[in-house]
Every structure is written in structure tokens, then in C-alpha cells.
Amino acid sequence: MSAWWGEAGAHLAVLGGGQERPKVLLVDDQAVNLQALHQVFQADCQVFAATSGVQALQLASAHLPDLVLLDVVMPDLDGYQVCAQLKANPLTAHIPVIFVTGNRDEESEAKGLDAGAVDFISKPINARIVRARARTQILLKRQSDLLRQWVYVDGLTGVANRRRFDELSRIEWDRTQRRRAPLSLALVDVDWFKAYNDHLGHQAGDDCLQALGDALASGARRAGDLLARYGGEEFVLLLPDTPLEGAVALSEQLRATVEARALPHPGSPMGRVTISVGVACRDADAPLPSLEALLQAADTRLYAAKREGRNRVAALALPH
């Protein structure tokens, strides 16, 4: 990797932001313009190219680039419309957009900035200027991503926090409605946790929650799944594209993993730390209730698991 991104990437790696090559999406309906921009970035970045606004939106959602360089004049959706749609989508709203266009008047520039762009470069491009401005925006974006990650992490357990779950669950719920795909939730609660704190103290309770976060995270590894601390001694698993059977199987695996760690629990009849899990699924063919209804269904099954003796998984599919 050249010095163009290497130093910036090394700086972010020290902060925990990784050093992978930036992803850049180029959007222009003219092949000669795409080729010119591709030559600017091919040595340092992962480059994706779109020749229409519709294709640009698809690629942006699929690859989540660090930067979009966007032409204004295109046949289907113009650059302003594409930029507005990128900013309206929670998945792509944080991606910086630089307009690269032959329009040089102040009105066009102002319109682009109003649409949400961060910069405006006129054609024909100067490679050094494009690289410098792109590097600045990519670095700012990566730094913002890192800050958002810190905001979304539970300080005690290191897994995602409630804020992250609340935001991502809403996004996944909306996606489920569009695609009619299954969405499962699993609520996890530590059995007799108050008794654990009463016997061993709150510092030991914190250590226990950290160990549980590690154990649960070790099993929830599929890309797209989210493990979050829901509150107190409760955790939640958000499982997109997962039917009830798959969610139950994963929950049972996690329950067994926690039990196998044999963490001593003097306040439990079982003598070790265990968990109870309530699982609910919004099936692809079921009517579309609210996300709150799905959470309530999982919570209902969690209490059922508690009533039935704890250290177990209870599941319920929402009715057709």
C-alpha cells in the first residue's frame, strides 16, 4: 500500500480502527470518466463503479463504501437525487459524497452541498487534487465510524449496547418487511443473578457479566447477527434471516456453552452460572406485527423459561 493511505491507515489502526484499504464507489454514466477516476484510486483502494444512479444505490447498500464520487448529470436518477437517497438511508447516511461534475457554476455547487455532499470537484479532474480531497474525507469518515463504534459498545461487557440494538433492530425490521424474510430475537437472562451479587458482591457480578459476554459472543459469530447487552443482567440476540428453528438451535448452543464454563454460583440451586433464553420469530409468511410485539413475545417466552425451572430455552413463533 502506498503512502497515500498507509500513514492514515496506520494512525487509525493505533486507535482501533483497522488499516484495511478504503472502499470507493465511482458513479458516472461515461466510461471514459470512470476510467480516469479508476486510475486515480486503483493502487490504494477497493474500487466499485456504477454507470447509473440506480446501480449506485444498489452498490452503496451492498458494499458500504468509505466514499462516493458522484456525477451530477445521469439519465435515470441525477446525482442530486442519488445523494438525497443515500442520506435518507440509515445504512448509507454516513458515507461522504463528493460531486465530480462538469458543472462549475455556484448554483450547482450550492445545490450539491444542500443535497448532502461534502465537496465539489470540477471536471476535467486533477488527479492530485482528487486524491488529496478523497483522502481527507475517507480519514474523517473512518474516524467518525470509530467514534460511533465506541458510542455503541457496552462499557462493561464489550458487546454492543442497548442504543445499538434499538437502532439496528429497527433497520432490520424494516428490511424484513420489504423482503418478507424471517427475523428472530432471543432474550437472555442470567439465572438467580441477584443471589449471585448477594453472595459474592457486585464486583464479582460485573466479572460474571464480562465472562458471559465473552461466552455469548463466541457463539454468535455469523455476519449480520447482533449480540447486545439489553440491560442489567439481560442480553439480546438479533438474528436477521433466521427462522425459529435456527434461533432455537443457536440459543441452546449458547445455553450449553455458558453451563459448560461452570462458573461457580453459590446462590443457585445448580451451583453454577446458567442462563434462560426466550426466543420469538417474525416468520416470512406471518402477518407483520410491530417490532415491539416481537420483543414482547420473546420476553414472554423468557419468563416461561424461568417458570419452567430456568437453564432452558423457550420459544414461540408469532401466529400466522
The residues annotated with a catalytic role in the active site are: 233
- Please count the CA atoms within 13 angstroms of the CA of 48 that sit on its side-chain side: 22
| Total count of residues recorded for the chain | 320
**Spatial CA neighbour of 61 closest among 98, 95, 38:** 95
DSSP run (H or E) holding 213: helix 202-219
Burial 108-118 (b: 16+ CB within 10 A, else e): bbebbeebbbb
Helix H or strand E segment including 282: strand 275-282
b/e burial code for range 228-253 (CB count within 10 A of at least 16 → b): bbbeebbbbbbbbbbbbebbbebbee
- Residues 246, 43: Cα–Cα separation, whole Å: 42
